[in-house]
Structure 1
């Protein structure tokens, strides 16, 4: 079974729960184990919150201004789910992605994504600029999926 969807969302706080609900609904319909779905939804929430907060500070806009958009793409393919969140902000500075210690004010969301996913990549978009956070997780299935596999 393969499921793929992509959202182009406004850089507003209200966009974050929309993406999370769509992901959880997709996972429920596909029959993914609720614990795996929850982990992925928390990681998605963190990635989207970063895009909303930091994803529009480039190109002359003041940091934190609620303008612009970001994109969320999810792929359920076989035993894996891959999620990608891309924004149009300044991107990650330098070669290393800033992750924080447990008591730091910022950067904890990126650490949380690393803990919840099986594979994580933080990078910058080439050409147009902006940050890209992508993460994969191996899926586990409920005993009786909602979606009939054909």
Structure 2
């Protein structure tokens, strides 16, 4: 079994906990271990907060999209905005440590909490942050392909 959902959200601070709660609910229902669900929810919150803060402006959209795929023992989350795009600070394969003003903190956390992270600018405009995590599943998980 797999689960897939996509949200189109307004770039407002209230959208961040909404996306987080939906992800946590889907993971609980699917039988994902709580510690893994929590880590992914923090990474999602950071990606959404970045889209809210940086993903728009004059001539850019006021919405962003969150898509989550839970398939077997992998979760992939993608957050797409319509802002000016960005070049993430990279050091040793991931975002550099955040500086004293907390610039880059969200990207650093996403990289630390996920197993694989990709950053790119979308076609025309916007940023796309995609991250994957291997899931730990409970014995009663709906995502298990074979019985225990």
TM-score normalised per structure 2: 0.87
TM-superposed CA distance for 1:148, in Å, is: 8.6
| Greater CA drift, 25-34 or 97-106 | 97-106
TM-superposed CA distance for 1:126, in Å, is: 1.2
TM-score normalised per structure 1: 0.86
Aligned to 2:22: 22
Displaced runs of 4+ in structure 1, greater than 3 A?
A: 147-150
Within 5 Å, which residues of 2 pair with 1:111-126?
A: 111-126=108-123
TM-superposed CA distance for 1:75, in Å, is: 0.3
Residue 135 (structure 2) aligned to one of 114, 139, 142: 139
Q: Would the alpha carbon gap of residues 75 and 117 (structure 1) be closer, same or farther in structure 2, given more than 3 Å must change? A: same
> How many residues get paired?
139
Do the aligned residues in 1 keep the contact of 2:9 with 2:15 (CA within 8 Å)?
Answer: yes
Q: Which runs of 5+ in 2 are unaligned?
A: 90-94
Give the Cα separation in 2 of the matches to 1:138 and 1:56: 31
Aligned to 1:68: 62
Q: Which runs of 5+ in 1 are unaligned?
A: 62-66
Residue 110 (structure 1) aligned to one of 98, 107, 110: 107
